[in-house]
Chain A
């Protein structure tokens, strides 16, 4: 049982992600608006984000204070704008275009960019294929049921 719990907790501990808060935010003791405030966190403060519960995320400040902040107050990535680098797409496309011999190859994946979209010719066979994958509403309701998704009445906000 202890091992089972430990296994469950591992992803939560490992999943600490650098984040920052976008506005002055109250760090709450529990994930609720009426919970006690641990400390007021200033805008742009760096935190480590871990577990999410509903609209709240558990964070730890550099000073070691722990608590919960609203999910929408968090922006992931290291504070100060140092973000992950390029996904390498541009380089991959360049490589595909050039090939090992240095000449143009036609098999490389061209990106879905402005030029590709504006010069595209209609592809009727892909359209037919897509229409073949359509699902009737009744089948989608069974699919929702299998996922225990329950339809709700929600009105649009004004």
Chain B
């Protein structure tokens, strides 16, 4: 639709120009066409990283990091190794365990991934942790949140405000953009994005040498919990049910899962590195 508008603007110009060239502000028209186009072009990587830092800072305002430097470093080692197997190995990847009892995980554009203490406490191995981190890494790889923020910005930021927000020329526009981004964490992405992140994440975890069933094991744990459990409320609101996700994996991922099912799970290293979370 936007492309059509741009085409019309250009097509209309010469015909009009024949009659009254002086009255027609060609430059203004070109500017307008450029702005419309920029809303549909990809956000550049430096802008993606800058927006991500702001969004990450907000999430950290909602829940701080677990005060255990050893645990935080451990999760960064696992996450960085996974990200190295991806198509975007050179992003500034950062991983953090949020001090919250809920079961959840978040991906932030530009390479930041959070997992809650409540989720880590329910895991049994490093392969399970890797499965969850790889799912979140996949959201970053496929730019799911970034595209959703951009889409939201197009409908709620007028005209060229997105460009101003990206260039940090207008603080209130920038603030609005970050708010739109963080709203995604309470509304959720499209179901297809979540199922895609499950499939891509399983491949990343298998590439990193982990037992390919890590994510599936976590989904089975979540399925076995009471769906009314308040610790799951936000996770369940923003994701397809664990049962539906497991069924989707059966349909699409069985061969990858079975080919790498005997790779290490590392339950002992996981237990040692996360022991501060166990009372």
Q: Are A133 and B72 in contact (CB under 8 A)?
A: yes
Q: Is B41 an interface residue (CB 8 A)?
A: no
Q: Are B249 and A72 in contact (CB under 8 A)?
A: yes
Q: Count A interface residues, CB 8 Å.
A: 57
A72 smallest CB distance to B (angstroms): 5
Q: How distant is the Cα of A113 from the Cα of B63 in the complex, in angstroms?
A: 10
B177-234 CB contacts (< 8 Å) to partner A:
182-183, 185-186, 199-200, 203, 206-210, 213, 216, 220-221, 223-231, 233-234
Q: How distant is the Cα of A111 from the Cα of B98 in the complex, in angstroms?
A: 11
A151 smallest CB distance to B (angstroms): 6
* Other-chain residue from B101, B224, B230, B266 in contact with A147 (beta carbon distance below 8 A): B266
Q: Kindly list chain A residues whose C-beta atoms are within 8 Å of the C-beta of B186.
A: 114, 117-118
Q: How distant is the Cα of A49 from the Cα of B277 in the complex, in angstroms?
A: 27
B91 smallest CB distance to A (angstroms): 11
Q: How distant is the Cα of A117 from the Cα of B60 in the complex, in angstroms?
A: 9
Given known A-B contacts A123-B61, A137-B89, A86 and B228 have beta carbons under 8 A apart: yes
Q: Is A47 an interface residue (CB 8 A)?
A: no
- Give 8 nearest A-B pairs by CB, closest first: A149-B209, A122-B57, A112-B100, A120-B61, A120-B62, A54-B261, A140-B80, A126-B60
The 28 sampled A-B contact pairs (Cβ below 8 Å) are A54-B258, A72-B246, A74-B220, A75-B224, A75-B246, A85-B229, A87-B230, A90-B230, A111-B100, A112-B98, A117-B58, A122-B58, A123-B61, A126-B65, A127-B53, A127-B56, A130-B56, A130-B94, A130-B96, A133-B69, A133-B94, A134-B80, A147-B264, A147-B269, A151-B85, A152-B209, A156-B199, A157-B199
